[in-house]
Amino acid sequence: MKPNPESMSPRIDEVRRLKQKGLSMAQIIDRLSGDEGPTILAAPPPKPAAAPIAHAPTLHLTLDNIEYPAYMLNQNFELVWINEHAQQRFFGGHPDLPQTSDARNLFRLLPVGRNEWGSLLHFHVGLAKSRLSPDCFGNLCHGLDPVTYARLQAAYIETVAEPIRPVVQSTVILPGNPATQEAEQIHTAYATFFREGIFIVLIPEAEYANEMLDLLARRDEIIRGLLRKRLPVLTHLAVLVADLQGSVKICSELPPAEYFELINEILKVLAPIFRKHHGTCGKHVGDGLVYYFFPQPDSDYLANSLACAQDIRKEIQRLSKAWQLRKQWFNELFLNTGITEGQEWLGTYQSPTSVEFVVLGDTINQAARISDFARHGSIWVTKSLISRLSAEERARVVYGVRRRAPEGREVFVSSSFSQMSALLEQEGARTEKLHDIATLSVTEVVEIKPRTG
């Protein structure tokens, strides 16, 4: 995209002036951006002129009309979106990416064994090195053939980590593409960082990047567009569903304004806890919460879901005491939590104003049913989740099932599980909506011990 020199805005003049002073494009972006969010690259007021000068309109660049290779990676360096130009350049125009998240790892898809792709490889390794430890990077490369694995490990050692900043710029050389008769060409690679991942675009060196700088400045627009275009993927995950116990009773006792205040306060105080444990908000209805936990390069997503459940239970206990003092009532607030794991399709539901992550499959339904069974703020999880924890993480979890002894007293049997049907019979419950998980093996998580050392 080559802008008409006669239509250059004052912003372009400023970019040129800064380049003449020796600043890199990344430094120019920082200089123009400041700390003011998505409107940071607004053009400065034009200098007074003797007479008005007509300017041709500048093209508003969007994700849909980027003419260069562009793609989005998540924190595991897995492709979640890619445009047609990147498909043509990197993958020979093949329209379909692998279905599973592991197979979409960029280091598995790029032809890293070919020397002509070396500069692009080192650019991505530099992005990874600034965010991942050697062990975490090794985990990303797990399962590759020995030659490719050795080359990636060598690249990690040799490559300088890219600095952590809103936008990173680097020069890369893309090899020629016989299919499109493109010759080898120098490109400027821009990487923009979001909580949801890394957006990368490669611009030929001969092209002027003003419109791209404008787009990178519109961070909210970029991430909304990328979320809408996110490709469905088959991924491992844990699903946490938490529901407010007695919500109908609480709603009936509070004025509407105070009930909504309570629900909003719950959402507000829990949001930082979910972020801390890498939880992704899913589609939920009313006063229930649905969060997804996906594999992370530096932590166990299953352990994250359990630790998150324990932290939100503690926070709700604190909030419950605050509302008891405020209202002088005896109601206690409980979030009843169900957690399970599986491999399901992740996609998005979209409306004109919002985008919500949605998981298709039995995993979300199981977690919701387990949450329906839980009472008094308890945390119930499936046997499959506990079994998939590492030995170290499992040793930190205190779990088991309360059983009734012959004399009638209740006994907690640690490190044990029970089918849901047996638990329902023990309580004399006959809940129709729990019948579909009657054979599911579950356990109650009582505590997560802190890590030692």
Give residue-wise pLDDT tens across range 277-333: 999 998 776 668 999 999 988 889 999 999 999 999 999 999 999 999 998 888 899
Give SS3 for 411: strand
Q: Is the pLDDT of residue 230 over 90?
A: no
- The answer to whether 298 touches 133, Cβ cutoff 8 Å, is yes
CATH code of the domain made up of 234-448: 3.30.70.1230
Going from N- to C-terminal start, the domains of the chain cover 5-229, 234-448
Q: What one-character DSSP code corresponds to residue 47?
A: P
Q: How far is CA 74 from the centre of its chain?
A: 7
Q: Give one word for 379, left, alpha or beta, with left for phi > 0 and alpha for psi -120 to 50.
A: beta
**pLDDT-based confidence at residue 176 (cuts at 50, 70, 90):** confident
Q: What is the pLDDT of residues 415-450, one digit of tens each?
A: 999 999 888 865 554 566 788 888 999 999 999 999
**pLDDT value for 61:** 61
Lowest-confidence pick of 41-50, 134-143, 185-194: 41-50
Q: Is the pLDDT of residue 10 over 90?
A: no
Lowest-confidence pick of 46-50, 341-345, 379-383: 46-50
**pLDDT value for 205:** 76
Q: What one-character DSSP code corresponds to residue 124?
A: H
* DSSP assignments along 218-246, one per residue: -HHHHHHHHHHHPPPEEEEEEEEEEEETT
**pLDDT value for 361:** 87
Lowest-confidence pick of 52-56, 118-122, 153-157, 269-273: 52-56
- The answer to whether 368 touches 291, Cβ cutoff 8 Å, is no
209: tokens are 């990047």
Q: How many CB atoms lie within 10 A of CB 148?
A: 16
**pLDDT value for 426:** 58
Q: Is the pLDDT of residue 151 over 50?
A: yes
Q: What is the pLDDT of residues 348-373, one digit of tens each?
A: 877 777 777 888 888 998 999 999 99
**pLDDT value for 228:** 76
Alpha-helical runs (H) found in 242-356: 247-253, 256-276, 301-327
CATH code of the domain made up of 5-229: 3.30.450
**pLDDT value for 431:** 63
**pLDDT value for 144:** 83
Same fold, 5-229 and 234-448: no
Q: Is the pLDDT of residue 243 over 90?
A: yes
Residue 127: is it exposed, middle or buried by C-beta count within 10 angstroms (0-12/13-18/19+)? buried
Q: Give one word for 231, left, alpha or beta, with left for phi > 0 and alpha for psi -120 to 50.
A: beta
Lowest-confidence pick of 35-39, 168-172, 393-397: 35-39
Q: Which residues are within 8 A (CB) of 352 and not within 5 positions of it... i.e. 6 or more apart?
A: none
Q: What is the pLDDT of residues 50-85, one digit of tens each?
A: 444 344 344 456 667 788 889 999 888 999 888 888
What span, in angstroms and rounded, lies between the C-alpha atoms of 166 and 14?
A: 20
